[in-house]
Structures are given as C-alpha cells and as structure tokens.
Chains A and B, each alone.
Chain A
Amino acid sequence: MSIPELLIKDGFITERDREKIDDLSARSSLSFIKIALNFGYISRKNYERSLSNAGYVFSEIREMPSDPQVLSKIELKFADQHVAIPLRIENNRVITLMANPDDKLFIDFIRFTYDREPEIIVASDLDIVWLSHKLLGDKYVKSAVYELLNRDPANSAFITFSSGQLVFLFALFGLIVIGLMINFKTTSITINVLVSFFFLVAILFKLFLALVGSRFELHQAVTRDDLKELVEDDLPIYTILLPVYKEDKLIKKLIWNLQALDYPREKLDIKLLIEEEDDKTLNAVRNLDFPAIFEVVVVPFHMPQTKPKACNYGLHFARGKYLTIYDAEDIPDTDQLRKVVAMFGKLPSNFICVQSALNYFNRNENFLTRMFTLEYSYWFDYMLPGLDTLDIPIPLGGTSNHFKLENLVELGAWDPFNVTEDADLGVRAYQKGYKIAVVNSTTYEEANNEPINWVRQRSRWIKGYMQTYLVHMRNPLSLLRRLGWKGFLGFNFFIGATPLTFLIYPFLLAIFISYLVFDLSTIRTLFPDWVLFVSIFNLMVGNILMIYINMMAVFKRRFYELILYSIANPVYWLLHSIAAFKGLYQLIVKPFYWEKTEHGLSKVTNPTNVVK
C-alpha cells in the first residue's frame, strides 16, 4: 500500500485531499509529502503515527556520516522538494534518507545517478530538511551573504566607514577642536546655530510630512470594489518569508495568524526560516498537534547571523511572483495579500514594493507599548504616506513589505551586513528608479513591553539607520543625482537626522535644564539673543509639534485612550537617546551584530486582524 493510500486508510486525508495534492504536485514539482506536510493536510505527528503503525521506523539521522562525493551529485532544491537526501554509499547501496519511503521519482533518481539500489532510512521530514540544508546549502548561504557585496559593493554595508568618510569625520573633528582652541566662544556659537537650525528644519520637515500624509487619510489605495474584481484563479503564487530565531513560543500563534489569511492555500508559498542551531524553534514545529501550513527552510550557519541573511537564503527557494516578510508574532489584516495583488495591478510597473502599515495589538499593555503604538501610528499612518506623496525614498518597515520577487532579486535583495536592511533596500530601490507605494492595510505586531528589550531593539534600528546613511552617503553627489534634490533632502532629514537628533537631544535638554534651574550666566555667552530665541523656539515648538503629530496619529487610528500619553514623548525620546548611544557604540565595535528582540513577552493574545 502506498503512503497516500495508507494515509487515506488511516483517515488522515481524504480522497479529495489526495487529488488536490497530486494536482498541486503536478503543477509545482513539489513532492506529495512536501505538500501534505506543508500545506495543512496532515500534521507531522499523525504522519509519523500512520507510518509507525504500518511498520516503518523513524531514525535519528542528524549525526549520520555523509560522503561529499555522494552529495555533490544532488541539488539542494531537488532534495528539498522531495524531502529526501542520499548520504553515502555503504555495502554498495546508497544510504538514502526519505520522509516518504515510496517516492518513486526520488528512488529512480538514486538508481540512475549512483547506479546502485538505495537503502532507505525513514526519518522525520524536519530532520531531513535540516540535514540537507546543512550539507548542501553552502553555495546558497554564501550567495546570501556575498551576493550584494560582489555585485554592488558600493551599496553593501560590509565596510562601515569609507576612507573618505573617515577623513571627513576626523577633519571635522580636528577643525572643531582647533576652532574651540582659537576662539571658543565663536566656535561654540557657530555649532550652536548649526544645531539649532538643523533641529528647526528637521522638525518642520516632519510636521510637513505628517500634514501631507494626513491629507490622504481618507484615500483608499485599494477599495473593496478593487478586491471584488480580483479573479481567484488569476491570483499569483505569493511567497511569505518568516525569519525566526528562538521563537518557539510563537509557532502556534503564527499558524493561527497565517490560517486567517484570505488567500488560496495552494497559492501560498510560506517559508519558515530557521537558523541551523535553533533547535528550540525546530522542535516547536515538530511538536505541533495540527497541520502546518508553512515549509521549513533551515539556514546553514554563516556569519553574520542576521535576518537579512536568512531572508536572502530563503529567497533562493521562493516560488512566488510576489514576496513578503512577516515576523513570527505578526497579525496581518486578513485581506492584505489580496490588497497588495490588486494594488500592484493598479500601479505602474516601476512600483516594485508595497508597504503595509504596522501597528500593535498589545497597545494597552503598559507605558512602553502605548508609546510604541503612538510612534508607529505616526510613522506608518502619516510619515510614510507623506514620503510616498512627495516621492521621497521610503525607509521600509521591518515586515509587511511586499515585493515583486524578480525586481527584488535584481536589486541584490537584502544587505546581510546592514541591521536595518529594510530601510536600506527602500533607498536602493529609489536609486535605481523604482518606486514604493503604501497600501491601506495593517499588520499588527507585538509591541516591546520590556525596557531592556526595547533598548536592544531600538539600538539595532538606530545603528541600522547610521549604517544605511553611511553606505549611501559615500558619494553624496552621486546620491543627489540618483535621488533628485527632494529625495536627497528627504534621505538626509529622515535617515540621517533621526540618529543624530537622538544623540544630540540629551545634551540640549541638559543645557536647557541647567539654564532654567541653575540660571547659568555662562550659558548665555554661548547663546546670543537670537540663537537663544531660535533654541527656545525649537524646544517649545518642536516638542509641542512632535507631541501633537503623535496625537493626530492616534486620533486617526481611533485609539482615543492613548491621546494623552503623547505628552510623555520627551521622556520616551530619552530612551531613544540611550538606544542611540548604544547603537553608535555598536556601530564602531560590532557593526553587524544583530541585537535580538525577544518576542512573545506580551500577555495579550487577542488577535485583532479582523478587517473592519
């Protein structure tokens, strides 16, 4: 009795399921077992139970020896599609690991390739996937790490500071020191004036962006009618990458969230990217009691161990026309994929990415989550649409950015050395003349509810912004030429100014408080009347406006209960400053280090992804 028949007999799948699996298998070149276990037909536990009852024995295979000669004759993608791999030749037989021992095609492949009969060892599909990626994934992981560096070194963050930038920074530092030594007062005032004007322009720019963004708050990029016009059969294959690292607690939740997506199951190509040494997550997948609807891809160990490297690796196995990334805890709006398909259909061909708004489902958990929600609401509901309207490069959000896969590959995908690879990719896309749009759909994430964890996450983001700024400002004139003046200014005030403002903020606040509390007359010598006027204006108007923009954003989201928390923003910005200094330190000592954010700390579990 064949394995499919066995499964039907045991009642784990129906005849209709089998037809569907065979049909999909014929269309996609995926094997029966790959589809059965990864498209929600049968759980791994039931599969093992069924085979064990039929007399098959599942072996532990991860420590088994292998022969490179044997491995060199098989391609990883083929092994992956059939969840099988030949390991070595023993007693004139090919020791072959298989999740489905009656996969005729693979058995024939072994016979033809090695001219020997296979000796089949049945093993868990996850172990086979793990082993095959570990043994055969080397060229893919090298490509994931070095592709951009080899193809477009100017846009890789492999080198943090270029020689020119170092010369500039040290020359600037030297000039300031010399200036301070020759004429302390004039130099201080000059620095003061520059900082004041920088702040003023940055704040006004953000207000302007927010107003431009808020102007279109009623605009529906994709309407219900657009969605109705989509033809089910014409929907393309959609790849979803789910890079995870030690997210064992979130796997069940992840499946619930993915199951809620309104998209034909057989047209989803969901890839859970697990690091080679991450047994926790792998075991969590193994222990699931119900069918999984994603495929596991194991990313072989290679430095740097970053999310973009994992995504680049996963990209090699992606089958979709479009591709998106979600984090394990993400709860996208159920119709998000359909909206993106509709939107791509409406947009000109040079739009290669669509960003969804991000927000938080655990916003009312504590002070930090409230502040985070305020910030995200303002960022994704006002700033990004503002940038979009003004045609300024959009720093993509960490997840829920939907790409046209072929254009993503053409761009060189994500930079594995950049810890905010998303923001960097947005700028690179604009440089090549591509555009990014913003869609009216939200993905709800888990807001960081723990201060240390928050600082860790934020320090990575700010470090990434610094990296991105340094990468693209290696040749400012060329950037100006490629982005145009609007894009160039936008890039400087958005990507460049963000870390800088957080670094300067505590100093300015300290000076102001000293001036108020101690009435230091010496400070007055560094602040001539008009400079003091601009500084006070910045402090007052800047703070008020930034607070107000946050209020506007939550008002738009109808999170009325959060509106007063906006007032606490100056305190929240101090946390940003701490993270900024940590990011700066790491930029110098370990630029590629990925500060892992702990997910699953939230006690809030209510999914809120119902489309309103």
Chain B
Amino acid sequence: MRDNQTKYLLLITFLLVAYYLVCGIYLSRLGYFSQEGLFYIEKTKIVLDGLGNRLKVMGLTAPILPFYMSFIFSAISDTLAPLIASAVSTAILFYIMARTLSSRFKDPFYLLILLIVFALHPGILYAACSGKSIGLVLIFFFMFFFNLLKFYRSNTTFHVSIASISLVVLIFCDYKFIWLTLFFIPLVLSITIQSLNLGEQESIFRLFLSFNNPSLRRKLINKTFALYIILFILPLSCIVCYKLLNLTHAEDLNYFSESPYATWNVLADKLSFDQLSTSHGYQLPETSVLISVRILIFCPMMLVAIYLFRESTYQVLTLLAPFAFVEFLHIKYEKVFLSQEYYLIFLVLSLLCILYKAQTIRNQPALKLVVGLVAILQLYTGYLFLHDSTVGEERTFITMLLNRTPITEQDENHQLANYINHLPADTHILVDDANAYPVVAYTDNVHKLTLPYQSVFLSAIEAPDKYDDYILLASDKNQTTGYTQLNNKYLPVIKNTNSGLRFHRVYETNDWILYKIF
C-alpha cells in the first residue's frame, strides 16, 4: 500500500518536473532568462573550461549550493542547467511535502490542494521555471520548520539537529536567511521552558517556577545554552569558515555577498532599485508594517496556519518569526525590494502547518472548505503579486507566461556572443564579467576571453594591446555601465596612458561595444 503510494507520488513528481521543464524551456525559447540563471551558466563555463584561478570561482561563487545544483545539471545542457535545477528542486519540494502529507492523511483532499498549488500557483511556477534558486531555498526552509515542529513534539536531538543542518543549507542557498537566527534567540528560551518537565502549563508560570528554583534554573540555563549551540553553532561556524575562506582566497570576508564577481544579486538588486526609483511611475517602496499585511494578502492561508497552532504560544511565535525576519530584511537591505522568494516561504510555511496540524481539527469539512477556498484565492493573489512586482524579472515572467509574447531582452547579448563565437579560436577579448556575464554565458569558448578571475586581467586592463585583440565595453545606454571599469570612460583614460593605441568599433549593440585593438 505504502509502496504504491510512493510510486504514485514519484510519478506525479516526474510529471511535475516534465511540466515545469516544458514551461521553462518554452519561456526560454521566447527569450526569458533570469539573471541568476545566466550567472550560474557563466560560472559553470569558467569552472569547466576556464584557465586561471578556478578554485576561487568554484568555491566562492554564491549562493554556492544553487550554483552546484545547476553545475550538476550542466552535464545535460549548459544553458538549460539552471532551469532544470529549479524545476527539479521545486518538484522535490512537492515530493517531500506530499510524502509528509500522505503519511498523515488518508484523505486525498489535501494532496489535491498541494498539487493544485504546485501546478498552478504563479509564484511556484516562477520558482520552478525561472532557473532561480527559489525551489532549493523553499525545500530547506520547509525542512527547517518541519523538523523544528517535530522537535517541539518529540524533544529529540535528531529533529533539532536536522533542523540545524537544514538551516545551514538554507543559508548557503540564500545568505540572508542567517538573519532568521536572530529571531530564534528569544524563541529558544521559550522552547526550553516548554520542554522542562513541570506540572505548570502556562508559559509565564513555567518561567517563574524555573527561575525561582536553583536546580531548575541551572537546568534551564544549561539546556537553553545547549539548544542554542545545537541549533546555531553549525550555521554560524559554517559561515565563519566560509568567510575565512573568502578572506584567504579573495582578501575580503564578504567577497561572496558583496562582490559582483561572486554573486549575481549585488548588481541585480542595485539595478532593480535604481531603475524603479528613477522611473516616471515612481512606486512607494514597501513600508515596514505593510509588508506583513502584504504577506497575509499574498498568503491568507497563514491565518489558518496560526489558527491551527493557537493553543501553544511558542509555536505561534515560531510561525511569526519569519514575519519578523522579512520585516528585518526590509530594514536591513533598505534598497532592495522583497522578491517573490520571501513571499513564497509563507506559502510553504502555511502548507506545512496545515499538513502538520489539520488532522487535529474535528470539523474537517469546514476546514477543507476554508483551505480549498483560500488555496484558490491564493492562486489569484499569487498572480497579482507577480504582476505588480517591483522586481522586473518577476513582472516579465508572468507577462510572458500568460501572453506568450517573445521578448528581446537577451537577443542582443546572444547576437554579440555569436559574433565572438565566430572569431578565430586564438582571439583574445578583454571582458569584465561583473556585468557582462550574460554575454559570457552565451559564449562557446571561454578560452577566448580574458576575465577577472584570471591573474592577467589587471595587466590586460593596463595594457590591453599586449594581452588581447578585442575589448568589450559597456555602452552609455547599458544600465550597468557604472559598475564596471570597462565602460566608455575607459577609452580616453587608456589612450592618455598609451597614445599609440587604436580602437576600432567592430560590433555594437544597445548595451555593448566590441572594439578591435590595434
């Protein structure tokens, strides 16, 4: 019986992968590529074919685990690897949730709801078909909370350590989740008080009892400290080690999160905000209190989730921690708009709560009705949030998905890469992949390119004629022109240094100008 169930779930999962891939490949044929995906494609090419300090690219490209996930699938296709990775990750998330669900419920209703959400929710489709790491983030976010809830029930080391390991992976999928730990600091004390073997049930009285009895106080302090350690030492030490690696290999502790060579979102975030704040239809950025409200509008199922856990204060606080986390992100990264990923975590969390607690509700028909209606409502709110998203990529995705109209955003990069591909094999082109990674991603042979990961790059900038035959500069129209040294200001400067240098414009697009060096 159980074997059959597993087989069916696997079958559905494979069908979901196929469905996501069909959607994703179709969108990519129409010209949709996420910045993150292109970044991974470019780094994969460097790791596989590059000449130079590949160790740095291999180890310090961030977020590292999505990059590796995409790297694995590059064996199938270079350009589709991120897409396959995101489709597979999202389907795996479905499988994990469905397995958990089927072990708790015989009734297929909730599985149907889950399937509807994974097949039709625009946010989930975005996670699965965009080539981004959202799917992976959601898996480990789910694992973290799921094991934490299990720990609340069983009080076993296994669950708390799995939660901790999930948190580590989550952080290496998206570094910002390190801040989630901040909101667990008060929570851990509350968890410990709850886990003490006391007759009193009310949290406040338990706290009172524990603090006024020397033996209990010692136990409380020891256990709280141990729980902090067991939950957070792994993520924190991993981050410390990773930062040390950054320091030893890139002379910068925060290279992985602040360098455009290491991560795609440094530039993408800045651009998205610049673009928005200077455009005509200036939108008010999300204001703090409204973010939580927006989340509840995006995912009203969270209200059902909180209702299910209403009897336990610390468990409700656990569910509220991500709200505080997202609010904090908004304050901490004030110039970055919240992307779909941070809304989707609530969708996953609410589904988790339902699959974890729904069986405790006696009035199942009413609950099913509410869950069903809310799930359908969420399909619409999901669409609205993508459609009105402050992040351009998200808007483009939903528009393309619904209208199926091709976009030309990447066409010029593609054409430029084609031009480079047709140059003789021994040609050398100076390229700064801080912003030119989409061009490099479409290039067939990275041997032709002199890129910043190579030790000759700086010398090549000083004396391009000695190292390279061509140089790729960002044009004035390129939105990222201010984030690279290789832009229109470079030519006058280098000519000042070496007046004998001659540059001949051989290929030009809206964003790029390729010069031949004489």
List the A side residues contacting B158 at CB < 8 Å. 211, 214-215, 217, 552
Residue of B nearest to A528 (CB): B55
Q: Say whether B367 faces chain A, with CB atoms less than 8 Å apart.
A: no
Decide if A544 touches B241 in the complex (CB within 8 Å). Answer: yes
B-contact 0/1 string along A513-556, CB 8 Å cutoff: 00010000000000001101100100010001000100111011
Residues of A near B230 (CB, < 8 A) are: 551-552, 555, 563
Interface segment among B113-121, B231-239, B272-280: the answer is B231-239
Instruction: Judge whether A218 is part of the interface by a CB distance below 8 angstroms.
Output: yes
Q: Which residues of A contact B223 (CB under 8 A)?
A: 558, 560
- Cβ of B478 < 8 Å from any Cβ of A? no
Cβ of B58 and Cβ of A530 under 8 Å apart?
Answer: yes
Q: Closest Cβ of chain B: how far from A317's Cβ, in Å?
A: 43
Give CA–CA (A215, B241) in the complex, Å: 28
Cβ contact within 8 Å between A548 and B233 = yes
Taking a contact as CB atoms under 8 Å apart, the answer to whether B53 and A552 are in contact is: no
Q: How far is the CA of A553 from the CA of B249 in the complex (A)?
A: 35
Shortest CB-to-CB span from B223 to chain A, Å, is 6
Considering the complex, give the chain A residue whose CB is closest to the CB of B157: A556
- 1/0 per residue, CB under 8 A from A, across B316-333: the answer is 000000000000000000
B-side contacts of A516, CB under 8 Å: 248
Q: Which B residues touch A564, using CB under 8 A?
A: 229
| Contact across chains for A561 and B241 when beta carbons are under 8 A apart | no
Cross-chain contact B234 with A544 (CB below 8 angstroms): yes
CA distance A552 to B226 in the complex (A): 10
Task: Count residues of chain A with CB under 8 A from any CB of chain B.
Answer: 24
User: Which residues of the other chain, A, contact B217 by a CB distance below 8 angstroms?
Assistant: none
Q: Are A217 and B156 in contact (CB under 8 A)?
A: yes
**A211-B158, A217-B158, A529-B58 known; A560-B226 Cβ under 8 A:** yes
Q: Is the CB of B237 within 8 A of A533?
A: no
Q: Given B59, B233, B234, which contacts A533 in the complex, CB threshold below 8 Å?
A: B59
Given contacts A217-B156, A544-B238, A563-B229, whether A532 and B162 have CB atoms under 8 Å apart is no
Smallest Cβ distance from A388 to chain B, in angstroms?
15
Dominant SS at the B interface?
helix
Write the nearest CB–CB distance from B216 to chain A, whole angstroms: 13
**Once bound together, how far apart are the Cα atoms of A211 and B147, in whole Å?**
13
Whether a CB of chain A sits under 8 angstroms from the CB of B399 is no
Do B238 and A214 touch across chains, with their CB atoms under 8 A apart?
no
Given contacts A532-B55, A533-B58, A533-B59, is CB(A217)–CB(B241) below 8 Å? no
Contact A548 to B234, CB < 8 A, known contacts A217-B156, A217-B158: yes
Q: In the complex the two chains form, what is the Cα distance from A556 to B226 in whole Å?
A: 10
In the bound complex, CA of A218 to CA of B157 (Å): 10
Asked if B6 lies at the interface with its beta carbon under 8 angstroms from chain A, I say: no
> Given known contacts A555-B230, A560-B225, is B55 in contact with A529 (CB within 8 Å)?
yes
Tell me the nearest residue of chain B to A558, going by C-beta: B223
Contact with B along A177-214 (1 / 0, CB 8 A): 00000000000000000000000000000000001001
Q: Answer whether residue B245 sits at the interface, using C-beta atoms and an 8 A cutoff.
A: yes
Q: Is B99 an interface residue (CB 8 A)?
A: no
In the complex, chain B residues whose CB is within 8 Å of the CB of A561: 222
Please tell me if the beta carbons of B156 and A544 are within 8 angstroms of each other in the complex: no
Task: Tell me the complex Cα distance, A553–B230, Å.
Answer: 10
A216 CB, min distance to chain B CBs, angstroms: 8
Q: Is B54 an interface residue (CB 8 A)?
A: yes
**A516 smallest CB distance to B (angstroms):** 8
Tell me how far the C-beta of A410 lies from the nearest C-beta in chain B, rounded to whole angstroms. Answer: 37
In angstroms, Cα B234 to Cα A536, docked, is: 17
**Cα(A217)–Cα(B157), bound, Å:** 8
Q: Which residues of A contact B226 (CB under 8 A)?
A: 555, 560, 563
CA distance A218 to B160 in the complex (A): 13
Q: Are B154 and A218 in contact (CB under 8 A)?
A: yes
Max count, chain A CB within 10 A of own CB: residue among B55, B157, B226: B157
- Which residues of chain A are within 8 angstroms of B233 by Cβ–Cβ distance? 548, 551
What residues of B have a CB within 8 angstroms of the CB of A551 in the complex? 229-230, 233
**Contact, CB under 8 Å: B222 / A560:** yes
| CB contact list, B147-180 vs A, under 8 A | 154, 156-158, 160-162, 164
Q: Are B157 and A555 in contact (CB under 8 A)?
A: yes
- A533 and B161: CB pair below 8 A? no
- C-alpha spacing A536/B246, complex, angstroms: 12
Contact, CB under 8 Å: A540 / B241:
yes
User: Looking across the interface, which residue of chain A has its beta carbon closest to that of B224?
Assistant: A560
Given the known inter-chain contacts A533-B55, A536-B245, please indicate yes or no for A214 contacting B234, CB distance below 8 A: no
A530–B53 Cα distance when bound, in Å, is 10
- Closest Cβ–Cβ distance, residue B417 to chain A (whole Å): 26
The reply to whether B54 and A214 contact each other, CB–CB distance below 8 Å, is: no
How far is A529 from B160 in the complex, measured between Cα atoms in Å?
Answer: 35
Q: How far is the CA of A214 from the CA of B163 in the complex (A)?
A: 13
**In angstroms, how far is the closest chain A Cβ from the Cβ of B273?**
34
Smallest CB gap from B244: residue in A: A540
Give Cα A527–Cα B442 distance, bound, in whole angstroms. 31
CA distance A540 to B245 in the complex (A): 10
Which residues of chain B are within 8 angstroms of A532 by Cβ–Cβ distance?
A: 55
CB within 8 Å of B: which A557-597 residues: 558, 560-561, 563-564
User: Which chain B residue shows the least CB distance to A540?
Assistant: B241
Q: How far is the CA of A530 from the CA of B59 in the complex (A)?
A: 9
Chain A residue contacts of B154, Cβ below 8 A:
218
What residue of chain B has the Cβ atom nearest to residue A549's Cβ? B161
Which of A215, A544, A558 is within 8 Å of B237, CB to CB? A544
Which residues of B, 194-239, contact A by the 8 Å Cβ criterion?
222-223, 225-226, 229-230, 233-234, 237-238
In the assembled complex, the Cα of A529 lies from the Cα of B51 at a distance in Å of: 11
Q: Is the CB of A529 within 8 A of B54?
A: yes
Q: CA of A484 to CA of B204 in the docked complex: distance in angstroms?
A: 56
Chain B residue at smallest Cβ distance from A536: B245
Minimum CB–CB distance for B151 against chain A, Å? 11
CB distance from A30 to the nearest CB of B (A): 47
- Asked if B222 and A214 make an inter-chain contact with CB atoms under 8 angstroms apart, the answer reads no
| Binary per-residue interface labels of chain A (482-510) against chain B in the complex, 1 for a CB within 8 Å, 0 otherwise | 00000000000000000000000000000
Q: In this complex, what residue of B is CB-closest to A532?
A: B55
Q: A548-B233, A552-B230, A560-B226 are in contact. Are A211 and B162 (CB under 8 A)?
A: yes
Closest Cβ of chain B to A378, distance in Å, is 11
A243 to nearest B CB, angstroms?
34
Which residues of the partner chain B approach A560 to less than 8 Å between Cβ atoms?
222-223, 225-226
CB atoms of A552 and B229 under 8 A apart: no
B164 to chain A: which residues have CB within 8 Å? 548
Q: Which chain B residues numbered 99 to 158 have a C-beta less than 8 Å away from chain A?
A: 154, 156-158
Given contacts A529-B53, A560-B222, A560-B223, contact A548 B58 (CB under 8 A): no
Determine the distance from Cα of A532 to Cα of B59 in the docked complex, in whole angstroms.
10
Contacts of B229 in A (CB 8 A): 551, 563-564
**Of B158, B237, B241, B245, most A-chain CB atoms within 10 Å:** B158
CA distance A516 to B248 in the complex (A): 9
Are A214 and B55 in contact (CB-based, < 8 A)?
no
- Residues of chain A within 8 A (CB-CB) of B58 are 529-530, 533
Give bound CA distance, A558 to B223, whole Å.
Answer: 8
CB nearest neighbor in A for B164:
A548
Using CB atoms, name the residue of chain B closest to A217.
Answer: B156
Closest CB in chain A relative to B125 CB, distance in Å: 33
Interface residues of A (CB under 8 A from B): 211, 214-215, 217-218, 516, 529-530, 532-533, 536, 540, 544, 548, 551-553, 555-556, 558, 560-561, 563-564
Pick 23 A–B contacts, CB within 8 A, sort by A.
A211-B158, A211-B161, A214-B156, A214-B157, A214-B161, A215-B158, A217-B157, A218-B156, A516-B248, A529-B58, A530-B55, A533-B59, A540-B241, A544-B241, A548-B161, A548-B233, A551-B230, A552-B157, A556-B157, A560-B223, A563-B226, A563-B229, A564-B229
B interface residues with partner A (beta carbon < 8 Å): 53-55, 58-59, 154, 156-158, 160-162, 164, 222-223, 225-226, 229-230, 233-234, 237-238, 241, 245, 248
**Known contacts A217-B158, A540-B245; 19 further A-B pairs (Cβ under 8 A):** A211-B158, A214-B156, A214-B157, A217-B157, A218-B154, A218-B156, A516-B248, A529-B54, A533-B55, A533-B58, A533-B59, A540-B238, A540-B241, A552-B157, A552-B230, A553-B157, A555-B226, A558-B223, A560-B225
